[in-house]
Structure 1
Amino acid sequence: MQSPLSKQQTSIFKYNRDWRVWWRLTRPHTLTAAFIPVSIGTALAFHETNIHISLFVAMLVASLFIQAATNMFNEYYDYKRGLDSAESVGIGGAIVRDGIPPKTVLLLAISFFAAAMLIGAYICMNSSWWLAVIGIICMAAGYFYTGGPLPIAYTPFGELAAGFFMGLVIILISFFIQTGDVTIVPVVVSIPIAILVGAILLANNIRDLDSDQKHGRKTLAILVGRTNAIRILAGMFIISFTWMIGLVALHVVSPWTMLVFLSVPKAFVATKGFIGKTKPIEMMPAMKATAQTNTQFGFWLVIGILISHWL
C-alpha cells in the first residue's frame, strides 16, 4: 500500500509535469485583455515614430504577468473567502480541483508581480521613471481587485476599474514608451477597448450573479438585476462600435478601422447567450463570446491602424 507521504509526492510530481494545471491557473481566456491594449498603443505609435521592438515585447510580457498574477490573487482570495468550490465554473480550479496548496498560488502571483517590476524597470530606464509610479498603481489595482479588506470585485466598480487600467492606461503607456508623448488619439481610441474590457467583467458577474449575491458581493449585475445587466452589456457593445463610427466621421482614425465591425457577430452571440439563462454552465458560451468580442475587435482595430499607415 502506498503511504500518504508517497501519495503526496506523486501528486506534486504530477502537478509539476502537467503544465495544463498551471496554464489554467493563469485563466488564459482573459489574457487578451492585456495583449490587445499593448498592441493597439504600439500600432498607434507606429504612425508617429519607429517602433522599439524590445520595449514592445517588454511591455507585452509585463502586462501579461500582471494580468496572470491578478487572476491568481483572484483564485487565492476567492478560495480563502469560501467562494470557490470544485463545482465552480469559470475558475482556474488549481486549488479546489487540482489540490495545489493555496500558499503556492499566492507565492506564484507575487513572483509574477516581481517579474513584472523587473521588466518595468527596464521600460523606465528607456522611457521615464514616472511610469514606475503608474505601474505600481496598476499592480495595486490588480491585487485589491480581490485582495484587501474591501475588494473592488465586491463593489459595483469592478468593470470601471478593469476598463480603466486594462484599457485606457495600458494603451497610453504602450504609446508613450514608443513616442515619449501622449496625444488625444490614443486617449479617444482607448475608450471602446476600455468598455469592452469592462464588458468581460460584467459578463463574468452576470454568470456568477446568484453565487456572488449569496456571498455578500454588491456587483453592478446584482444592483441592477440580471435583465438590466444584460441590457447594459448590449449597450456597451453598441457604444463601442458607434464610437468607432464617430472617430472615423471626425477623421481621427482611418476608415480601415471599420474592420472592427467584423466582430459584431460575436457581440450578438454574447448578448443573446445570456438571455433566458440562469445556470452558470449555460452562460459559459456567452462569457466566452464576450471575451472573443474584445479580442476580435482589438485585432481588427490593430490591422486597420497598420493598413492605414502602410497605404
Structure 2
Amino acid sequence: MNFHAQSAVPSEKGWRIWWRLTRPHTLTAAFVPVLLGTVLAAKQYPLHWLLFASMLIASLLIQAATNMFNEYYDFARGLDTKHSVGIGGAIVRDGVKPGTVLGLGFAFLAVALLLGIYISANSSWWLAVIGLVCMAAGYFYTGGPIPIAYTPFGEITSGFFMGFVITQIAYFIQAGKIETISVLASIPISILIGSIMLANNIRDLDGDKKNGRKTVAILLGRKKAIQLLAAMFIVSYLIILALILFLSISPWLLITFASLPKAFSAVKGFIGKTEPIQMMPAMKATAQTNTIFGFLMAISFLISNLIK
C-alpha cells in the first residue's frame, strides 16, 4: 500500500480510505452466493470448511479488485471528479495514487488466484479455467478498450458471474457436481445482483450518457429503467413462490419476503428523482434488498437442513 498517499488526510481516517476503496456495500454480492451454494450442498454432503473459507475469501478479493479497477479506470477516463457522487473517490478526493489502486487490484487477484489453485487441486482443475474467466470479467467490466459496464450487458454479466457462477462453484466444491437445486436457487440471487448494477446505472444515467455509455438505463430511459428494476424484484419473489409450489422446496423460503420493504423503498426512492445525490438512498436500498434476501434464503435452507 502507498502509505504516503494517506498523509493527505488525517491519520485517524487513513484506514477508512482503504476500506471505502473496496466498496464494502458491494461485497455482500460476493458473500451471499458462496454462502447459499455451500448451505445448499450441506444438506446432502459433508462440509469442507477450508474449501468454503478459501472460496469465500477468493470471491471477496475478486469483487474488491473489480471495484478497484472501476475506481482506477473511471479516474483514467475522466469520469470521477471531487464532486462525483458515490462511495468511490480514493484517487480524486483522498489522494491515493492511481498506480497504487491499480496495483492493489492486481495484488488481490493474485491472492485469489493462489486460493483458486488450492480449490482446484482439491476439486477439479476445470474450476481454474472458470476462475480465470471470472477474473477476466471483473477486469474487463471497466477495463479494456470496450468496458462491459459501458454497454447494455453490465447487469447480465454481473448477475451471471457473481450470482450464478459463484453459487455453482461453491456448490460444486462441496458436492462434486452441479444439481438442479443449485441452478434454480441461484436465479433470484443473480437477478438481484444485476439489479444493483441497474440501480447504479439509473443513478448515473445523465453523466454516463454525456460520456458515451450505452447502458440499459440509458437505452430504456429513466422511467422504463425504474420499471425494469421493479420487474426484477417481482420476478425474484415469484421464483421463490414457484420453488415452493412446484418443486416442493421448503416453505421456510417464504422468510425471504421479509426483504420486500427494502425492495419497495428502492423503487419508490428512484421515482421522480433526477439528481444522483437524491437517488443514493434508493441505490443503498437495492443493495440491501439483495443482502437481506440472500441471507434469508440461505437461512431458510439451513433451517430445512436442521429439521430434515
TM-score above 0.5: yes
Match of 2:69 among 46, 67, 73: 73
Gaps of 5+ in 2: none
| Aligned match of 1:279 | 275
Superposed, which structure 2 residues align to 1:105-116 within 5 Å?
Answer: 105-116=101-112
Aligned: 1:268 with 2:264: yes
Quote the Cα distance in structure 2 between the aligned partners of 1:121 and 1:33: 23
Shift of 1:253: 2.1
| Aligned match of 2:197 | 201
| TM-score after normalising by structure 2 | 0.96
The AA in structure 1 aligned to 2:21 is: L
| Aligned match of 1:225 | 221
Deviates more, 1:250-259 or 1:23-32: 250-259
Aligned length: 304
Quote the Cα distance in structure 2 between the aligned partners of 1:217 and 1:9: 31
Q: Note the alpha carbon deviations across 1:10-52, whole angstroms, 9 max, x for none.
A: 8269569711000000000000000000000001001121111
Contact kept, 8 Å, 1:185 with 1:252, in 2: the verdict is: no
2:7 counterpart SS class = helix
Contact kept, 8 Å, 2:162 with 2:193, in 1: the verdict is: yes
Quote the Cα distance in structure 2 between the aligned partners of 1:10 and 1:51: 42
Aligned: 1:301 with 2:284: no
Aligned: 1:188 with 2:184: yes
| Aligned match of 2:138 | 142
Quote the Cα distance in structure 1 between the aligned partners of 2:124 and 2:87: 37
| TM-score after normalising by structure 1 | 0.95
1:306/1:95 CA distance change after superposition, 3 Å = same
Contact kept, 8 Å, 1:15 with 1:21, in 2: the verdict is: no
Deviates more, 1:42-51 or 1:202-211: 42-51
Superposed, which structure 2 residues align to 1:1-311 within 5 Å?
Answer: 11=7, 18-311=14-307
1:240/1:169 CA distance change after superposition, 3 Å = same
The ranges of structure 1 where at least 4 consecutive aligned residues each deviate by more than 2 angstroms after the TM superposition are: 12-17
- Among all aligned residue pairs of Structure 1 and Structure 2, give the percentage whose two residues are the same amino acid: 63
Gaps of 5+ in 1: 1-7
Quote the Cα distance in structure 2 between the aligned partners of 1:137 and 1:113: 12
1:310/1:83 CA distance change after superposition, 3 Å = same
Quote the RMSD (CA, aligned, Å): 1.4
Contact kept, 8 Å, 2:253 with 2:297, in 1: the verdict is: yes
Q: Note the alpha carbon deviations across 1:187-209, whole angstroms, 9 max, x for none.
A: 01110000000000000000000
Shift of 1:89: 1.2
Quote the Cα distance in structure 1 between the aligned partners of 2:161 and 2:6: 41
| Aligned match of 1:3 | none
Quote the Cα distance in structure 1 between the aligned partners of 2:132 and 2:11: 32
